[in-house]
Amino acid sequence: MEGALDNDSGKMGYGLMRFSKHPIVCVIDSNYAGQSVKEAVDLPYSIPVVATVDEAIALNAEILVLGIAPSGGRFPAEWDSPISHALKNGLSLINGLHDDLNARFGHLLTTNSIWDVRKPAHSYPIATAKAAELKNIRILMIGTDMAAGKMTAGLELYATLIENGINAGFVPTGQIGITLMGNGIPLDAIKVDQAAGAVEQAVLELQDKDVIIIEGQGSLAHPGSTATLPLIRGSQPTHLILCHKAAHRHLRFPVSHIQIPPLDEFITLNEAVAQVCGSQTRAKTIAIALNTVGLTDQEAIEKRDEIEHLINLPTTDVVRFGTEKLLTAVSSILDEKK
């Protein structure tokens, strides 16, 4: 996470720290070497921060994860030397960036390996709205912006459903979700005319589940994002959960000149796109999952209550306040179907 522990581009690392079932022996970021993650950026992890790959090896690390998700997903050229060193010294590599690092560094491998997470299948079928024929609940996480918390809210809800004995599945569509789950589709690396088909195929593979959570990507509000439409068309969602960074009024850089639309109007837009004037599956928004990073506890409570009152939908921050409201919303739908 060199240079990324304290900013949004480190979200791959944040996701692993929060959800990985495997022990994390350290984080590499020379800016905070000698501290713990808790001391460095006030996240609740006692994981030590070190400056070099050699320090990680000394801690018996086995796998090096590229813990960044920068805009454009490009491999930083200045990482050539430390990554080469890691591979030569036997570490395996998990790469969530767009670059094919097997092609770049494969000659350095012995018994270790490189997993290029964003490497798509050779081809996918063209979507034909088959998911609309399923009788289950399909919940797509949508967002007002990139990095709004769609994956986190989706994974937290999925874990809660499983804990409560609900037959649920999760469709990972980005590098973090795929790394955590060990499967999924790298949506932003798939040819645009096959993207909806890839989503459809992944959803159909979970058709035995009573509830399917589909990890969201991008936003209809973002001028650089095309991900939401194939997610909608492929999954034919029955329900939506809106994810929103509560402290933000504008999209994140480099499009911070664009205002985030009013939440009620944005909800209406996503629902309208989903049902296509009534010709496809009607998707009802059932809750709002806030990301209250940057707000104090009191400010987060006030913002949550303000939005819940304004939009008249259950509203929470799954990290700060838990998933109870989302669980209740999904349980109510399941009860109605009985």
| Cα 143 from chain centre | 11
Tokens 């960074």, located at residue: 245
The predicted-structure confidence for 125-177, as pLDDT tens digits, reads as follows: 999 999 999 999 999 999 999 989 999 999 999 999 999 999 999 999 999 99
pTM of the model: 0.93
CATH classification for the domain delimited by 8-116, as one of 3.20.20.210, 3.40.50.620, 3.40.50.150, 3.40.50.720: 3.40.50.720
Share of the chain above pLDDT 90, in %: 96
Would you say the CATH fold of 130-337 matches that of 8-116? yes
Q: Where are the domains of the chain?
A: 8-116, 130-337
Q: What is the pLDDT of residue 245?
A: 97
As a whole number of angstroms, the distance between CA 284 and CA 238 comes to 6
Calculate the average pLDDT of the chain. Answer: 96
Q: What is the pLDDT of residue 173?
A: 97
Q: Contact 76/1 with Cβ under 8 angstroms?
A: no
CA dihedral 118, 121, 122, 124 (to 10 degrees): -120
The total number of residues shown for the chain amounts to 338
Per DSSP, what are the bridge partners of residue 240? 140, 285
pLDDT at 71 exceeding the cut of 80? no
137's tokens: 């609940």
pLDDT at 72 exceeding the cut of 90? no
Mean pLDDT value across residues 72-95: 95
pLDDT at 110 exceeding the cut of 90? yes
Mean pLDDT value across residues 85-100: 97
Per-residue confidence band for 310, with pLDDT thresholds at 50, 70 and 90: very high
pLDDT at 82 exceeding the cut of 80? yes
pLDDT at 47 exceeding the cut of 80? yes
Q: What is the pLDDT of residue 70?
A: 82
Mean pLDDT value across residues 315-325: 97
Mean pLDDT value across residues 287-315: 97
Name the CATH architecture for the domain at 130-337.
3-Layer(aba) Sandwich (3.40)
As a whole number of angstroms, the distance between CA 152 and CA 141 comes to 10
Cα atoms in the 13 Å half-sphere on the side-chain side of 153: 32
pLDDT at 222 exceeding the cut of 80? yes
